[in-house]
């Protein structure tokens, strides 16, 4: 089974509208030969989505958001619905990022509601899981990953899981300059694929893209992307500059 590679830039709370124009302009100009068999996605902040959609029209780069409400509409001040994201041209949404868990107290059950809503609405969720440094050092990585995967995918049909993307992002590697080794990352990716197989089937588990995130850069990306169960990356810091983002995109081959 060959899976298409998947690279997404998570801009987090960076780049206003003007800066979005500059960055996307640089990315589009640098993307003369798009990488083969690779899906490319950028996830700018909400206020930049409209402009990003216009700039990306006709390119191979798809648009994603960084969060979404579990509700359809109504009195939820400050929230953004799936329908609103679809109306802005989003096809993807990052859900359950560790920064949402840490700073905004998102739990696996809340993330599960959001994942269900995204899939029902026709958005593809990029679902994040990952252990903290404490959990890794205490030998609890596998248990933590298992409970997160079970929690966020609870009740989902095989078809739904088939269309999702899973991101393994060890919390201790995010924005720290510390990357998981290829073996550490492969081990967890393999574990996630086995957990998916338990919940679905071998065929579906083999088809789901599982991407790595955590201090990816043009130097470490090629080795990580060569591992059997690593299908691409979720890139934070290095996605904020056209040159480094493009280099990572080109290293999927
Ligand atoms: P980083 O962020 O590449 O800056 O470590 C990755 C992420 O949080 O998605």
- Closest protein CA for atom 1 of ligand 1: 236
Of the candidates 139, 141, 129, the one whose C-alpha atom is nearest the C-alpha of residue 101 is 129
CA–CA–CA angle 202, 207, 208 (5° rounding): 105
pLDDT at position 34:
83
- Closest protein CA for atom 3 of ligand 1: 236
| Site residues for ligand 1, CB cut-off 6 Å | 10, 169, 174-175, 213-216, 234-238
Q: Which residues neighbour 116 within 8 Å (Cβ) at sequence distance 6 or greater?
A: 70, 155, 156, 160
Test site for ligand 1: of 99, 101, 216, most ligand atoms within 8 A of the Cβ: 216
Tell whether the model's pLDDT for residue 240 goes beyond 70: yes
Kindly give the number of the ligand 1 atom that is closest to the alpha carbon of 173.
5
SS3 labels along 2-43:
CCCEEEEEECCCCCCHHHHHHHHHHHHHHCCCCCCCEEEEEE
Of the candidates 148, 145, 152, 157, the one whose C-alpha atom is nearest the C-alpha of residue 190 is 145
CA distance 90 to 49: 8
CA distance 253 to 241: 21
pLDDT at position 33:
83
The tens digit of pLDDT for each residue in 34-44 reads: 888 999 999 99
Give the three-state DSSP class for 65: strand
Helical ranges in the chain per DSSP H: 17-30, 49-56, 82-87, 98-104, 108-121, 133-137, 141-152, 158-163, 182-199, 202-207, 221-225, 242-249
- Closest protein CA for atom 7 of ligand 1: 236
Q: Look at strands 209-213 and 92-95 and give their pairing.
A: unpaired
Question: How remote is the CA of residue 215 from the centroid of ligand 1, in Å?
Answer: 6
pLDDT at position 226:
96
Q: Copy the structure tokens of residue 98.
A: 């560790």
pLDDT at position 141:
98
Q: Are 226 and 1 in contact (CB under 8 A)?
A: no
Test site for ligand 1: of 169, 172, 218, 224, most ligand atoms within 8 A of the Cβ: 169
- Enzyme catalytic residues: 97, 169
Tell whether the model's pLDDT for residue 32 goes beyond 90: no
Give percent of the chain with pLDDT exceeding 90.
96
Give percent of the chain with pLDDT exceeding 70.
100
Mean pLDDT of the chain: 97
Which pTM was predicted?
Answer: 0.98
């Amino acid at each position: 089974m060959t899976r298409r590679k998947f690279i997404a830039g998570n801009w987090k709370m960076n780049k206003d509208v003007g800066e979005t124009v500059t960055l996307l302009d640089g990315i589009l100009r640098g993307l003369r030969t798009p990488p083969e068999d690779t899906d490319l996605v950028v996830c700018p902040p909400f206020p930049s989505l409209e402009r990003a959609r216009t700039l990306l029209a006709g390119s191979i780069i798809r648009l994603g958001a960084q969060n979404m409400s579990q509700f359809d509409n109504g009195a939820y001040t400050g929230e953004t619905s799936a329908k609103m994201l679809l109306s802005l041209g989003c096809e993807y949404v990052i859900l359950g990022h560790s920064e949402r868990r840490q700073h905004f107290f998102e739990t696996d059950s809340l993330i599960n509601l959001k994942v269900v809503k995204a899939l029902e609405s026709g958005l593809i969720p990029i679902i994040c899981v990952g252990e903290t440094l404490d959990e890794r050092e205490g030998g609890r990585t596998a248990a933590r990953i298992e409970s997160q995967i079970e929690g966020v995918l609870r009740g989902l049909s095989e078809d739904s899981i088939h269309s999702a993307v899973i991101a393994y992002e060890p919390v201790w590697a995010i924005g720290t300059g510390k990357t998981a080794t290829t073996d550490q990352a492969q081990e967890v990716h393999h574990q996630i694929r086995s957990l998916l197989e338990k919940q679905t089937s071998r065929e579906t588990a083999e088809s789901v893209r599982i991407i790595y995130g955590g201090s990816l850069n043009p130097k470490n990306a090629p080795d990580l992307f060569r591992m059997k169960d690593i299908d691409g990356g979720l890139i934070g810091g290095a996605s904020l500059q056209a040159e480094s983002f493009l280099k990572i995109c080109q290293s999927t081959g």
